[in-house]
Copies of this chain bind each other. A is one copy, B any other.
Amino acid sequence: MERIEHHASFGGRQEVWKHTSSALGGETRFGIYLPEAALRGERCPVLYWLSGLTCTEQNFITKAGAQEHAARHGFIVVAPDTSPRGDAVANDAAYDLGQGAGFYLDATQAPWAPHFRMQDYVARELPALVEQHFPATDARGIFGHSMGGHGALVTALRHPGRYRSVSAFSPIVAPSQVPWGQKAFTAYLGDNRDAWAAWDAVELVKTAKERLTLLVDQGEADEFLATQLRPELLAAACEATGHPLTLRRHAGYDHSYYFIATFLADHFAHHAKALVGSEKARS
C-alpha cells in the first residue's frame, strides 16, 4: 500500500492509495476521504462509492463535492477505480467495455476472466483492506452512479448483511435488458443469459433476502434514461415483490456530476439514518 496523494479538505484529508490487488491480479488505486474524527483515530462508518463508465478513482473525489458531506457526517468515503488497468489487462477500444468498464462483476469468459473481478474486489478485498488499515467501523453503506449505480444495487443485493444502506444515481437497473449491459454481460459472462440474473438488480430484487430501502435519483433530461437506465423496470420489480424503493425523478437534470452534486446531500442523509449509531465501536 502506498499513499500517492493527500490533500487537506474540510477539516479531514482526501487521500489516494495504490496497492496490489489479489482480486484484480495487479495494481489498482482508490480514493479515501478521512474526516477529522478518523484523523484523530476515532473509528468511523464507511461509504463506498462506485463510479460510472470511463471513470477512474479521480472523478468522484474531484467533482462531486462529497468531502463537505462526509466531514459533516463523520464518514469515511472510499472510491475505487472502475476496472483493472494496465498493459497486462485485456481491453477494448470502446468506452463501454474493458478498462474503465468493469461493471462490478466477476468475469467468467476469456480474455476478461483473470483480471475483471471487480465484485470480488469491491465487496470483499477493499472493505477488508479499509477496515484493517484505516479507523473504520464495520458499518458500511454503498452508492454509485450509472454503471456504478448498478454496481451499488447489485453488490448490496448479493450480500445481505454486509451493507446497512444503499443508494444510486441514474443506475443501470436492468443490464440484461439494455444495450450497455447486454454488450458487457455477453463479453464478461458469455451468451447464456441464466448467468446474467445474478448481476442484474431487477432480477435480484425478486428474490432478495434483505429488504434495504433503495434510494434512487434519476434526472429526466438524462440522455441515457430511455435506452440504458429505465428506472421503471426497477419500480415494477420492487412493486411486485414489496421491496422498499424511493425513486425520485428530477425534471431538467442530466447524467452529469452537476446532477450528482445537487442531490448528494440527500444520499448522505439517507446513509446516515442507517449508519450513525449503528457502528460497532465508536470510541
**Contact: B254 with A8, CB < 8 Å?**
yes
Chain B residues with CB below 8 A from A8, complex form:
219, 221, 250, 252-254, 258-259, 262
A182 interface residue, CB < 8 Å from B? no
Residue from the set A65, A250, A254, A259 with the largest chain B CB neighbour count within 10 Å: A65
A257 interface residue, CB < 8 Å from B? yes
Residue from the set A10, A14, A221, A261 with the largest chain B CB neighbour count within 10 Å: A261
**Contact: A9 with B262, CB < 8 Å?**
yes
A67's partner among B7, B9, B250, B258 (CB-CB below 8 A) is: B258
Chain B residues with CB below 8 A from A67, complex form:
258, 261-262
CB distance from A106 to the nearest CB of B (A): 33
Q: How far is B48's CA from A3's CA once the two chains are assembled, in angstroms?
A: 36
**Contact: A261 with B63, CB < 8 Å?**
no
A residues 1-35 near B (Cβ < 8 Å) are: 7-11, 13-14
Q: How far is B63's CA from A14's CA once the two chains are assembled, in angstroms?
A: 14
Chain B residues with CB below 8 A from A253, complex form:
7-8
Chain B residues with CB below 8 A from A262, complex form:
8-11, 67
A279 interface residue, CB < 8 Å from B? no
Chain B residues with CB below 8 A from A261, complex form:
9-10, 65, 67-68
Given contacts A258-B9, A258-B14, A262-B10, is CB(A65)–CB(B65) below 8 Å? Answer: yes
CB distance from A46 to the nearest CB of B (A): 20
A256 interface residue, CB < 8 Å from B? yes
CB distance from A282 to the nearest CB of B (A): 24
| Chain A residues packing against B (C-beta within 8 Å) | 7-11, 13-14, 62-63, 65, 67-68, 219, 221, 250, 252-254, 256-259, 261-262
The 4 closest A-B pairs by CB, nearest first: A65-B65, A7-B258, A8-B252, A9-B258
12 pairs, CB–CB < 8 Å, chain A vs chain B: A7-B254, A7-B256, A8-B221, A8-B253, A8-B254, A8-B258, A9-B262, A10-B261, A11-B262, A62-B63, A65-B261, A67-B261
